[in-house]
């Protein structure tokens, strides 16, 4: 599978590749059932926590089976890796893409580790995503209003420096996006995204982190301005939790997980279809 080619096609057609994170079989089945309706390549994402829970080798085996079942490309990405060591393990296990999240580090330190990851990954044909700017929040429901400061956002000229020095294939910038769902979501700064794109768009694929809770019109706007990959986690987690709770409540005597799971799977399938429908026809 030529992943770069898949990304290039997505970029040329302004049709983004979705990354759906998972750590549980019901989530995975919901993702598969949703994505298979569209027959378009997508990414299975696991964060460090999700990958530690699943096991790196197990996640790789799962992705291979999913791809076999669907008959079109499915890419496995290690999302938000916090250390070279974890990403090295993921690459050695068979992940096809890795994301080093050095966003909390000073830029020089971020560049240094991202470059090390990129050099290890590239020799093995693995795609690398870097991150610059301070992307706040975690993939959960937050009770408060989202607070994004301008100083957290990616500076276009720093993005250029970062991309040139690290050699990453993809870049996750911060332009008003945030992980998780908040009482009040911020608006995306599409002007900043355009400026970043004009600096680095020739060399990297731009990634939208924090896909949950962003109004569809803004997601579409971001893709028009150059986003090629969209990450989604909280909306999947939320559907899992809400419907699992209901399913448990509705069936107080039931102890067989597979009998409780169908409603959960259906709810996640709906989340996936709703997102993919923004760009693809069934």
Q: Is residue 50 a contact residue for ligand 13P (CB under 6 A)?
A: no
CB of 126 to ligand 13P, least distance (A): 17
Q: Is residue 79 a contact residue for ligand 13P (CB under 6 A)?
A: yes
Residue from 122, 116, 114, 69 nearest 96 by CA:
122
What is the distance between the alpha carbons of residues 180 and 98, in angstroms, rounded to a whole number?
A: 21
CB of 61 to ligand 13P, least distance (A): 22
Contact between 17 and 229 under an 8 Å Cβ cutoff? The reply is yes
Catalytic residue among 79, 101, 169, 189: 79
Contact between 114 and 128 under an 8 Å Cβ cutoff? The reply is yes
Of 9-17, 157-165, 227-235, 264-272, the segment contacting ligand 13P by CB under 6 A is: 227-235
Our answer to whether residue 79 is catalytic in this structure is: yes
Per-residue burial over 205-226, b if 16 or more Cβ lie within 10 Å, else e, is: bbbbbbbbbbeeebbebbbebb
CA angle 112-118-121, nearest 5°? 145
Q: Is residue 139 a contact residue for ligand 13P (CB under 6 A)?
A: yes
Q: 274: how many CB neighbours lie within 10 A of its CB?
A: 12
Binding-site member from 40, 63, 179, 229 for ligand 13P (CB under 6 A):
179
Of 189-197, 208-216, 217-225, 258-266, the segment contacting ligand 13P by CB under 6 A is: 208-216
Q: Is residue 269 a contact residue for ligand 13P (CB under 6 A)?
A: no
Residue from 44, 126, 43, 131 nearest 88 by CA:
126
String marking each residue 85-124 x if it binds ligand 13P according to CB under 6 A: ----------------------------------------
Q: Is residue 21 a contact residue for ligand 13P (CB under 6 A)?
A: yes
**Residues classed as catalytic:** 79
Q: Which residues bind ligand 13P (CB under 6 A)?
A: 21, 79-80, 139, 179-180, 209-212, 231-234
């Amino acid at each position: 599978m030529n992943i770069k080619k898949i990304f290039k096609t997505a970029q040329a057609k302004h049709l983004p590749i979705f990354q759906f994170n998972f750590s549980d079989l019901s989530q995975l089945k919901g993702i598969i059932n949703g994505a298979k309706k569209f027959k378009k390549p997508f990414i299975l994402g696991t964060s460090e926590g999700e990958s530690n829970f699943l096991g790196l080798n197990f996640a790789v085996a799962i992705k291979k089976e999913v791809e076999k079942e669907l008959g079109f490309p499915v890419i496995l990405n290690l999302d938000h890796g916090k250390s070279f060591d974890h990403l090295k393990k993921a690459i050695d296990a068979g992940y096809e893409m890795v994301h080093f999240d050095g966003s909390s580090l000073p830029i020089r330190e971020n560049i240094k580790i991202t470059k090390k990851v990129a050099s290890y990954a590239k020799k093995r044909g693995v795609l690398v995503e870097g991150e610059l700017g301070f992307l706040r929040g975690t993939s959960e429901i937050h009770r408060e209003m989202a607070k994004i400061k301008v100083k957290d956002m990616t500076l276009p000229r720093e993005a250029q420096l970062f991309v040139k020095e690290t050699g990453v294939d993809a870049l996750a910038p911060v332009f008003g996006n945030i992980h998780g769902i908040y009482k009040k979501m911020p608006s995306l700064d599409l002007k900043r995204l355009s400026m970043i794109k004009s600096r680095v768009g020739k060399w990297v694929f731009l990634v939208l982190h924090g896909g949950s809770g962003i109004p569809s019109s803004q997601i579409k706007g971001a893709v028009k301005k150059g986003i090629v990959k969209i990450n989604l986690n909280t909306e999947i987690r939320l559907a899992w939790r809400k419907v699992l709770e209901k399913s448990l409540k509705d069936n107080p005597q039931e102890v067989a997980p597979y009998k409780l799971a169908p409603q959960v799977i259906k709810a996640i399938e709906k989340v996936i279809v709703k997102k993919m429908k923004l760009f693809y026809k069934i």
